Amino acid sequence: MKNTLKNTLTKSAIYSLLSLLVIVSLTGCEDVIDFQTETGPPQLVVDGWITNEPGSQTITLSWSSGYFDNGSPKPYLGATVTVTDNLGTVYEFKDVAGDGKYVWQSPGKDTLGHIGRSYKLQIKNGNDIFTAANEIRRVPNVDSVVYQNETLPFEPDKGPKKGYIASFYARDFVGEGDTYWIKPVIRGKAVVEKPSLISTAYDAAFSAGAPSDGLIFILPLRQSITTDSLYSAGASVGVELHSITNEAFEFLKQMREQASNGGLFAVPIQNLKSNVVNTNSSGDKALGYFGASAVSRMETVIDPAKARPED
């Protein structure tokens, strides 16, 4: 009897101790934590994406800032910026406005980007010479942009929301490994509202390994041009399909994952691996990405009389 009572008391003590620890842990969650972070030296950030579209091309250079700094990035000024293709043609980008936006102006109807060519970016500033390379790969034509009626579930005090879901049709090339960036076009302008909505494709699906080579893009990718809300009648909508390299595909994938990072299983934010390299081994590293794309584009205006019925 004594042994039984002793065992019972021992178990009770253990359970009480565990309960106390849980309560203390939960109570500790209410404490304010003064999280101290160290701010490293500012780095060059490259935001440049050349295409085969006519008109000017822009490469934006800025300085990195602290994670909790909500101010606008400071422009990276005084650099000499050029892009050279594999045929030896040199394109000069100039910061005429002094705002860190280095622009190449087309002297005529010629385009900077051409499918099948490779390009090398060079940024000179003092003892630092930053370089990056990319190429412009093939892109399929967009066959059509369509839309259909849609009713979203009831919202409190608002009732059901009605509108249109837009989607596009295009077929991936035969031959595995083509990668794309899908951008919605709204009122004539390609937009990416936030990094978490970046839509990329590997062949005609989300990633490598899917049996999608040479097929029409899968439905979720086709409908990714409808982002956070439904379109209304008369809206101008469309799509830009950008060809990208596998390296760019991985960069954009990581950017989307970092932007969607949160909740119970969030991991620490970290800088994405850049393709911009400082040839001065003792100089500072750079952030950002230099990309290149061929672009296929189509737009339409939503006409209720031509809309497909709701599924």
The pLDDT tens digits of the residues spanning 41-95 come to 899 999 999 999 999 999 999 999 876 677 889 999 999 999 999 999 999 999 9
pLDDT of residue 40: 73
Q: What's the confidence (pLDDT) of residue 114?
A: 98
Strand locations in the chain, DSSP E?
44-51, 57-63, 80-85, 90-93, 101-104, 118-125, 128-135, 142-155, 159-170, 179-186, 189-190, 199-202, 236-244, 277-278, 286-293, 295-301
Which tokens belong to 256? 């989307």
- Residue-range domain boundaries for the chain: 44-137+271-293, 142-260+295-306
- Asked which of 108-112, 278-282, 297-301 is least confident by mean pLDDT, the reply is 108-112
Token pair recorded at residue 156 = 């409190």
Mean pLDDT check: name the lowest of 97-111, 156-170, 208-222.
Answer: 156-170
User: How far is residue 108 CA from its own chain's centroid?
Assistant: 31
308 pLDDT higher than 90: yes
Given a contact cutoff of 8 angstroms between Cβ atoms, the answer to whether 6 and 14 are in contact is no
Specify which residues 216 forms β-bridges with.
171
For residue 9, what pLDDT is reported?
A: 37
Residues 296, 239: Cα–Cα separation, whole Å = 8
The pLDDT of residue 115 is above 50: yes
pLDDT in tens, 151-198: 987 666 666 789 999 999 999 999 999 999 999 999 999 998 899 999
What share of the chain in percent tops pLDDT 90?
Answer: 71
- pLDDT confidence of residue 35: 46
Helices (H), the chain: 2-28, 219-222, 246-259
pLDDT reported for residue 57: 97
Mean pLDDT score, 197-203: 97
Q: What angle (nearest 5°) sits at the alpha carbon of residue 182, between those of residues 81 and 163?
A: 135
Please, what is the Cα angle at 110 between 108 and 112, to 5 degrees? Answer: 120
From first CA to last CA, the distance across the chain in angstroms is 71
**pLDDT tens sequence across 224-256:** 999 878 999 999 999 999 999 999 999 999 999
Instruction: Identify the CATH class of 44-137+271-293.
Output: mainly beta
pLDDT digits (tens, 9 = 90+) for 17-50: 344 334 344 444 445 544 455 567 899 999 999 9
At residue 171, the pLDDT reads 98
Q: How crowded is residue 86: how many other Cβ atoms within 10 Å of its Cβ? A: 13
Distance, in Å, from the CA atom of 296 to the CA atom of 108, rounded to the nearest integer, reads 21
Question: pLDDT band at residue 16, thresholds of 50, 70 and 90?
Answer: very low
In whole angstroms, what separates CA 228 from the centre of its chain? 16
Give me the count of residues in the chain: 311
pLDDT above 90: residue 271: no
- Res. 2: pLDDT tops 70: no
Quick one: DSSP state of residue 223? G
Per-residue pLDDT at 27: 41
pLDDT for 39 equals 63
What percentage of the chain exceeds 70 in pLDDT? 83
- pLDDT, residue 65, reads 86
Residue that wins the pLDDT comparison between 108 and 216: 216
